[in-house]
Structure 1
């Protein structure tokens, strides 16, 4: 029986079972509460290799090659494991080469760093199949091939020859294969068994040597060199260490001794680890730790853990030897408005095809973490710094929208590749690079907002075919989880219409309600609107793309705010109404007192002052949105006022000098002059402003009239041509 971890909460128990006399390998999936989620599934024959992919999307079963050198494989999807679904979604075959002249001795399967599997084949020349060709001293007697099967490709690569020798060795055995920590591809430990004869005394002895074989993901050989054996024992266990080097384990008289070797296989130090009282031992490769199990009485076990010295000073924080530092650091408290995060590697890198994702940790352990953003390294959003060691990852405005919350960055293997060899590099697993956001300060109050989004054609069709209220409610539920925000802050107005610019698509309106609870600190409506607008704009990189209803949103149309004109101009309407209430009685009183006077000046003066205020506010607040109109607008605003003021002063001075009665009146009622002068200036300046507006409007009317006249001329011309053609036809007919 074997136990294979699948997800954080599920494992597969793999066991051998006989069915009609034929042994096979079966599996059953349970959670850590011993609840079974799926019936027994058949995986393959008893000698098959079963392993889960690095991505966690599926598991594979690779059979041992048969006599024809065919090894069948089956890939099972476990994406729906919580619903009890494990589906075989593809299968195929590995084909061992050169079987016409060689015999397959052994095979080995291992996990690739870029989400796939590798198969290694050891071939020995079969002299019974050959002829006189064996006399050729350059003929390889042993060959080692490697073939790769990537998760997103339906067939494996052709086998690559990574090792061959003309020596007639007794045997070659592959102990293990794994990815290297320093971007040198993959490393395998090999045992070469050879018999050496001493020509002097004609005595023979068997020599067993350990080698390391390094090769790239292209099948190119990097190096092959011997690994030293610091013991006098040929039966040793050689382990590849995660942070470089090897660990040699020797069992002698019940005592296990450990020897540390460097990357080149040279001895560095020895460590006596476990005595005969320990019945089992193993190692945590990522933690660089070995442990022993001591069987105690009363069904108790004692575990003894010992750390293995690292051969380099590379960081262990991220469980990734090639990452030096990150910004933000692990467990740092960040400002939610940061624009990027940074990863610094200790070798030059290039961007590749795998994803980098940011998740918000769920407060409920039974609920999945919330995806905030995700994109691949080669999508041109990420950049590599000028030093070729740092990778800059942009952050969307909506990513860290939740204050006082925990987040983590998941960096997939093959997000970057080594610049020197183009080899995929290790990433950072989930919940390792974690940090949190600062608590939210009291946000400025924002009233409710109505926003309009557009559905794509598929979503518009589904909206028309289903209950509109149910559709909107389901979309609100998904949006509230993705933002995230309390569902009561979102509602639907029930209003929808076809988009005039794209008739097959529908516009939906949603309300973002103001926060009602004064005892809780919540983001205001404007912040929620901005976050949702960013999520829609970056839909393909956010969780909106992975939910049923939010995937119907059309990201090519921005999420816009619907204008409520009554609410927007409510203060101005109140001011205007109050002004009318005041002015109308004044006008009536003035008309009663002086029926022949120009009493309409009361309204004209107010309207001109109001026009002046509106023009001034437009210049101060709105004209900055069109920079090329700033100077002309200011000129046409200021120049008429200055000219009219000068003209008004000139008229006033002239009247004072030439009109004795006006001069006498002005000197006698000098206190009134100030009150009369202001409206006079306003009337004068306003008059010219109105005059300028009339001139501009007249100019536009003239342009429209000229344009219409040209159209009429063209129409008449065509009409005359048409009449001439008719007359020509008539004359031809009569003749």
Structure 2
């Protein structure tokens, strides 16, 4: 095990204030290979031992450090030896997946055939699963939202057709990865046009944008003198989670100029206004008897519907070297980064939305890596000196400070507010007020402890078209003296003006705490029956029934949450007389041993609410609890020693939740 020493941060003199941290690695020989900046502010650092005989190789071991914005460090030391073809030369990379999983992507030979494999591990350095990903040339990309899995894109053929496969995040119980959908990105079949190349980019709401470049084939056509011929065309198609199918390609650019080539440099989300792609146009300029080649860069803007917005040249003072990149900043304006040749030295500039210079800065040649945290508008540079790493954080100028507390300028306020202490008995909804008008058909929010379909009547937008109201179930904020974390995924709502997805709120930003609960009235043990659906009943009858009971009790303990000893069973079950294909199971909520524990009646009511709203709660996310029939309530059969007849209550009209984007509430205990 190795570790970093964390020194007191020092404040530098640049305005806004720069912050520098130094981390010392006590083990000599470990080399930093890459850094990966997560949207919530966590930095992943991949380090390994370099092969002294060949610097292009590394020793076959994997070490990763996760540094949170609070300074907390998680060390991942993997007990696994990678094959030679993965480490010499280095053919290893990694992507974060949801639920504290990471997938290491590497090359391995099987019966003499090289393929791409994925080793799925968790933050405890445990190997969960190994999966075959495909050909060594296949492209593996996270979906843009880690909880939505990852996407494998096969190498396109000569016609430009590329197969894609959308795979899930590992199951939180079994670690299994399944294919959620598959299909093809197909080039428009246009007579006399030839496929040239493609480019893919991440969508803000999870998914992939796929652009096609087509060139007019003069050799195959007799209309070469037609001045209206469009010699180049660019199409874009979108692959999104909710459909697992790619959209029909939309034409976003065409030109009558006989260019030498068109190439994509980058694509990025443009703050409530679709996407911007930086493309280069290579053209030959002829003047009398002389000709020269000229390369210009342009901003190609389009919406998520595939509608063209505008096409404009990137100023020469930005693109004159070609070694630059440009990003839209969420607080307005653009970040331009210009690099020096053969070094990571970089100058950067902040421009307003009209291209006017507002501020700038630089990183010297001593920096080996530079990352951008887009959500909080911060550049992070990494210097490496021997066994020390120095991290320099440069906050960027914000042209708009609206919503800074949420790392989101589109959010004006929330209720409860950040760090507010609430009384769970008095809260029945969460309110989010946006600074721009919203479409009155919000996307589908999802909560870790409850899930609500955005197009149902449960989730509404207020009459001002700025405010979202989300009802809260009694089982959601049910832990006293605890901290809850509200997360809003991108595309939770869409703007009214352009129907574009809005950014959400990352983890550990919107924190809510609960007050100490008043001591409730003591109640004796409560026994009740719940019903399994047909799939669950069939599984129960065909498996070890004692194991089934134990597994579902363990899941109840995590979800409610409550000590596992408070929920027991006598193992009794029976077929439901009114639905013979469904099984009734008996469980007992044991009485509390102290006044500090929730009463048996409280636990019973919480579990009852979770079952009644199963499609909207965490019960639907677990292997066994997802098999409960939510149309039948959790019903008391024996309470205070008195037997009550079984009553099954049927619920109708509960909308099916098909999640597109998410609002999640998680909690962590913080008893004081």
Q: Normalising by structure 1, report the TM-score.
A: 0.67
Equivalent residue in structure 2 for 1:167, among 244, 254, 257? 257
Q: Which residue is 1:348 aligned to?
A: 437
Report the CA distance shift for 1:317/1:175 in structure 2 as closer, same or farther (over 3 A).
farther
Determine helix, strand or coil for the equivalent of 2:219.
Answer: coil
The 5 A counterparts of 1:201-212 are 204-212=291-299
Report deviation, 1:506: 5.5
Structure 1 position 400 matched with structure 2 position 458: no
SS at match of 1:330: coil
Q: Which runs of 5+ in 2 are unaligned?
A: 1-91, 645-672
The DSSP-based 3-state class of the residue aligned with 1:540 is helix
Task: Describe the SS at the equivalent of 1:225.
Answer: strand
Among 106, 115, 140, the alignment partner of 2:230 is 140
Checking the alignment, whether the CA contact within 8 Å between 2:99 and 2:147 is kept in structure 1 is no
Distance 2:368 2:175 in 1: 38
Over the aligned positions, Cα root-mean-square deviation in angstroms equals 3.5
Question: Which residue is 1:311 aligned to?
Answer: 399
Within 5 Å, give how 1:337-416 maps onto structure 2. 337=425, 338-350=427-439, 354-359=443-448, 372-416=449-493
Matched, 1:333 2:418: no
Correspondence for 1:482: 559
- Give the match for residue 290 of structure 1: 379
Measured after TM superposition, the shift of residue 460 of structure 1 is 5.3
Pair 565,7 (structure 1): closer, same or farther in 2 beyond 3 Å: closer
1:535 to 591, 597, 610: 610
The structural deviation recorded for 1:118 is: 1.4
In 1, Cα distance between the equivalents of 2:495 and 2:225? 44
Contact in 2 for aligned 1:238/1:246 (Cα 8 Å): no
Give the conservation status (yes or no) of the 8 Å contact 2:378–2:395. yes
Tell me the secondary structure at the aligned position of residue 356 of structure 1.
coil
Question: Displacement, 1:47?
Answer: 6.5
Deviation, structure 1 residue 55: 4.7
Matching residue of 2:241: 151
The Cα shift of 1:73 comes to: 2.3
Q: 1 CA distance for matches of 2:507 and 2:268?
A: 21
Provide the rounded CA distance (Å) in 2 between the counterparts of 1:34 and 1:457: 38
Query: What is the CA distance between 1:490 and its match in structure 2?
Result: 3.4
Alignment correspondent of 2:188: 97
Give the Cα–Cα distance (whole angstroms) in 2 for the partners of residues 248 and 495 of structure 1: 67
Whether the 8 Å CA contact 1:181–1:322 is kept in 2: the answer is no
The 3 A distance-change label for structure 1 pair 324 and 568 is: same
Aligned-residue offset at 1:135? 1.1
In structure 2, what is the Cα distance between the partners aligned to 1:57 and 1:395? 24
- In the TM superposition, what is the alpha-carbon distance from 1:332 to its structure 2 partner? 1.9
SS of equivalent residue, structure 1 residue 97 = coil
Deviations 1:172-202 (A, max 9, x none): 22111122222x2222122233344456xx6
> SS state of the match for residue 128, structure 1?
helix
With over 3 angstroms needed to count, the CA separation of the structure-2 counterparts of 1:125 and 1:20, relative to structure 1, is: farther
Mapped to 2, the partners of 1:3 and 1:164 lie a distance apart of: 37
Distance 2:309 2:414 in 1: 30
Show the counterpart of 1:432.
509
Residue of structure 2 in register with 1:365 after alignment:
none
- Residue in structure 2 matching 1:214, options 301, 316, 325: 301
2:76 alignment counterpart: none
Verify the 8 A CA contact 1:4 1:52 in the aligned structure 2.
Answer: no
* Structure 1 residue 386: Cα displacement: 0.5
> Does the CA contact (< 8 Å) of 1:477 and 1:487 recur in 2?
yes
Please give the alpha-carbon distance, in whole angstroms, between the structure 2 residues aligned to 1:34 and 1:563: 46
SS across alignment from 2:445: strand
CA shift for structure 1 position 8:
5.3
SS in 2 for 1:409: strand
Cα distance, 1:168–1:301 mapped onto 2, change above 3 Å:
same
Matches within 5 A, 1:456-535: 456-457=533-534, 459=536, 474-492=551-569, 509-518=586-595, 521-535=596-610
- Checking the alignment, whether the CA contact within 8 Å between 2:138 and 2:152 is kept in structure 1 is no
Q: Pick from 612, 620, 637: which aligns with 1:545?
A: 620
Question: Deviation at 1:385?
Answer: 0.4
Is the alpha carbon distance of 1:499 and 1:68 closer, same or farther for their aligned partners in structure 2, counting shifts above 3 Å? closer
Query: Equivalents in 1 of 2:468, 2:379: separation in Å?
Result: 34
Moved more, 275-284 or 220-229: 275-284
1:150 and 1:335, CA in 2 relative to 1: closer, same or farther beyond 3 A?
same
Aligned counterpart in structure 1 of residue 217 of structure 2, from 126, 130, 133: 126
Helix, strand or coil at the partner of 1:418? coil
Aligned to 1:694: none
- Residue aligned with 2:119, SS: strand
1:393 deviates by 0.2
Deviation at 1:164, TM superposition (A): 0.6
The CA distance in 1 between the partners of 2:172 and 2:587, in whole Å, is 35
Aligned length: 549
- Which structure is larger by alpha-carbon Rg, 1 or 2? 1
Q: Give the aligned partner of residue 274 of structure 1.
A: 363
Which residue, out of 228, 250, 269, partners 2:315? 228
When structure 1 is superposed on structure 2, of 466-475 and 317-326 the one drifting more is 466-475
Structure 2 partner of 1:245: 333
User: Partners of 1:453 and 1:98 in 2: how far apart?
Assistant: 56
Give me the whole-angstrom Cα distance separating, in 1, the residues matched to 2:624 and 2:137.
45
1:43 aligned onto 2:131? no
CA separation of 1:559 and 1:278: change in aligned 2, threshold 3 A: closer
Distance in structure 2 (CA, Å) of the matches to 1:502 and 1:112: 46
Deviations 1:108-136 (A, max 9, x none): 111223332111112222322222x1211
- List per-residue Cα deviations over 1:14-54 (Å, max 9, x = no partner): 34568899876444334456554444734334373533452
Instruction: Pick the structure with more strand per residue.
Output: 2
Q: Residue 529 of structure 1: SS of its match in structure 2?
A: helix
The corresponding residue for 1:302 is: 390
TM-score normalised according to structure 2 size: 0.73
Describe the SS at the equivalent of 1:56. Answer: helix
1:312–1:207 distance in 2 versus 1, CA, 3 Å: farther
Instruction: Note closer, same or farther for the CA distance 1:24–1:139 as it changes in structure 2 (3 Å cut).
Output: farther
Change (3 A) 1:457 1:120: closer
Q: Supply the distance in 2 between the matched residues of 1:306 and 1:525 (Cα, whole angstroms).
A: 53
Q: Map residues 701-720 of structure 1 onto 2, 5 A cutoff.
A: none
Residues 363-393 of structure 1: CA deviation (Å, up to 9, x unaligned): xxxxxxxxx2112211221010010011000
| 1:67 alignment counterpart | 158
